[in-house]
């Protein structure tokens, strides 16, 4: 009797595992930022459903958890970061995640706080920039492009610099580092702020309408800072992930991005 019960239990486990494997093959979970990534994924989910796939979208407000939940295996993929951020995180934290699809680009912008023009900046004015390595570099490059500061010669998108590396200022402003998600909430405390595209959108700001200055869609930044779908190394051949990446490049998704975000989000075309 004991042997029979053991056999039945083993068979139940086998059936359960087979069922889970079938489910896993036709479903995928993605960690993302709420705006615009979750919005874009909602369109992808409808298209994937027609192919028999289920897409589960899990939203995060920060730039750390989406990588960590993929690294731990809780979530299949993430879609929130650009390549330099992902590479830098892998290097610093020892994670091992790879790009499987390039989707869109969000222009960085300089937005008004108490000042509506860069010409109005005065000594002592505060400017907030993101405090993570790649996005701070990107913000400082944008300030340099607009004549506010000068960085060391040779600094580019593949560099990592902070306010401590600034060589000179055209105006003696006070550039302060702050967690990216917090900047839009305190912009009235600064003369101007430099915002990531997704956080600007979340604050109802459109880079083409509200920014004082911003990266151009044909700039090197557009190719460098493209937002990507990433997975833990070894999961690149997952068929559901491949299907997701194909859908994210579809005309339906491209049209949705163009019609919804009006230049604040730009589809990536290789």
Does the fold of domain 109-216 match that of domain 24-106+225-267?
Answer: yes
Which pLDDT value is given to residue 9?
Answer: 33
**168-220, pLDDT tens digit by residue?**
999 999 999 999 999 999 999 999 999 999 999 999 999 989 999 998 777 77
pTM of the model: 0.79
d(CA 123, CA 127): 11
> Where in the chain are the domains?
24-106+225-267, 109-216
Q: Give the CATH number of domain 109-216.
A: 3.40.190.10
Provide the CATH number for the domain formed by 24-106+225-267 in this structure.
3.40.190.10
Tokens representing 18 are 């087979």
Residue 17 confidence (pLDDT): 39
More confident residue, 13 or 74: 74
| Tokens at 44, concatenated | 């992808």
d(CA 255, CA 249): 10
DSSP string, 42-66: HHHHHHHHTTT-EEEEEE-SSSSHH
Encode pLDDT of 225-244 as tens digits: 999 999 999 999 999 999 99
Binned at pLDDT 50, 70 and 90, residue 24 comes out as low
Q: Tell me the two tokens of residue 200.
A: 């600007």
CB 109 within 8 A of CB 203: no
Arithmetic mean of pLDDT, 17-30: 64
For residues 1-29, average pLDDT: 48
């Amino acid at each position: 009797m004991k042997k029979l019960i053991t056999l039945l239990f083993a068979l139940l486990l086998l059936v359960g595992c087979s069922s889970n494997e079938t489910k896993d093959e036709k479903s995928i979970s993605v960690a993302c930022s709420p705006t615009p990534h979750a919005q874009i994924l909602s369109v992808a989910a409808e298209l994937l459903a027609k192919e028999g796939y289920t897409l589960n979208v899990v939203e995060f407000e920060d730039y750390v958890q989406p990588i960590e939940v993929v690294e731990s295996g809780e979530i299949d993929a993430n879609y929130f970061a650009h390549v330099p951020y992902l590479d830098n995180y892998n290097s610093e934290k020892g994670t091992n995640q790879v790009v499987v699809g390039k989707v869109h680009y969000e222009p960085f912008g300089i937005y008004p706080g108490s000042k509506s023009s860069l010409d109005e900046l005065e000594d002592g004015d505060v400017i907030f920039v993101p405090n993570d390595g790649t996005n701070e570099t990107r913000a400082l490059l944008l300030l340099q492009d607009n004549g506010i500061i000068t960085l060391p010669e040779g600094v580019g998108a593949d560099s990592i610099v902070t306010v401590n590396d600034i060589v000179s200022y055209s105006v003696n402003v006070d550039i302060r580092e702050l967690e990216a998600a917090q900047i839009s909430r305190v912009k009235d405390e600064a003369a101007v702020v430099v915002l990531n595209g997704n956080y600007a959108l979340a604050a109802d700001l459109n880079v083409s309408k509200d920014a004082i200055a911003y990266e151009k869609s044909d700039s090197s930044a557009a190719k460098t800072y493209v937002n990507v779908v990433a997975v833990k190394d070894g999961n690149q051949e997952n068929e559901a992930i491949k299907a997701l990446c194909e859908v994210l490049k579809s005309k339906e998704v491209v049209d949705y991005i163009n019609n919804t975000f009006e230049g604040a989000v730009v589809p990536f075309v290789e």
